[in-house]
Each structure stands twice: as C-alpha cells, then as structure tokens.
Amino acid sequence: MSTVTRRLLKELQDIRRELGEEIVSLEPIDEDDILQWRAVLHGPKDTAYENGLFELHIDIPEQYPIRPPTLTFVTPVCHPNVHFETGEICLDILKTQWSPAWTLKSTCLAIHVLLANPEPSSPLNCDAANLLRCGDTIGYNSLVALYTQMYSM
C-alpha cells in the first residue's frame, strides 16, 4: 500500500468519525479510486450562501500530502475567489502556502471560511470583487443570494 493511500485511508477514517456541521459529506467518489473525492459544504450561516449546498471535486496527486490536492466547485458559485465557469478556487493554501499538515477536511473547512470571508484583492470573479471593492455589500449579497438560490438549493 502506498504512502498516499495509507494517509487517505487514515483521513477517511477520521472523517467518518466526525464531520461537523460545515461539511455535509467528504468521501472518495469511487472506493476503487482513492485519489478522486467529492465534498459537499453547507453555505456558511449568516451569509448569502446560507441554506445552499455546494459540491466540490477533489483531485489528489500521487505526491499527496507533499503536494496539495486540487479542489474545484462543481456547483456554480458567485464569489470573488471562485471562477464562475471552471470552479477554480483562489486560496493560498491550495498553492504556495500548502503544508502536509493540512488534511482534506481542514482544507474543506478553509474553503468554507473563504465563502464567508471573500478576498476581493485577488479575484477570479472580477464582477463580484468589484462590488465589494466599491463598498456595495448589498449588491454583492443580492447577487450571491440569487446565484445560491438558482444553483445550490
């Protein structure tokens, strides 16, 4: 059994023991392919994402945990740090700030936090970022709520 397989099986065991309310599910898509996972996150409470369910695809490299997994939203998400069409996520821990100390669960929790705390200075969705940079939080929250209602409920 490879190192990555052992690590992922350990993570899966920990995940099954306790998920928490932010993450609905986090598991391999197919038991025969431990490197492809699916996660579903609840929209953060008290945000325009609340009541939404957001699916993520997780592609784990053979060099995990040395190299980070690639996480992309399957559910369309209106967020400054998420590319609306591809689901790509701009988050430093998925690139330069990755550490083997991160797990799939902690990475999903970081994405959950990112939903509630957008960073408009490094946008993948310029329209959403511009609303925040201009101080139009009402417009931003209305747009997010509209897309959340259209795609994640």
Q: What is the pTM of this model?
A: 0.93
| pLDDT tens digit sequence for 26-46 | 999 998 999 999 999 999 999
Domain boundaries, the chain: 3-151
Domain 3-151 has CATH 3.10.110.10: yes
Confidence of residue 21 (pLDDT cuts 50, 70, 90): confident
- CA 53: distance to chain centroid? 11
| pLDDT tens digit sequence for 56-83 | 999 999 999 999 999 999 999 999 999 9
Q: Give residue 125's pLDDT.
A: 97
Q: Which two tokens stand for residue 5?
A: 């397989």
Active-site annotation holds for 90: yes
CA distance linking residue 97 with residue 68, whole number of Å:
9
CA distance linking residue 47 with residue 71, whole number of Å:
22
Q: Which of these is catalytic: 90, 108, 126, 134?
A: 90
Confidence of residue 16 (pLDDT cuts 50, 70, 90): confident
| pLDDT tens digit sequence for 121-149 | 989 999 999 999 999 999 999 999 999 99
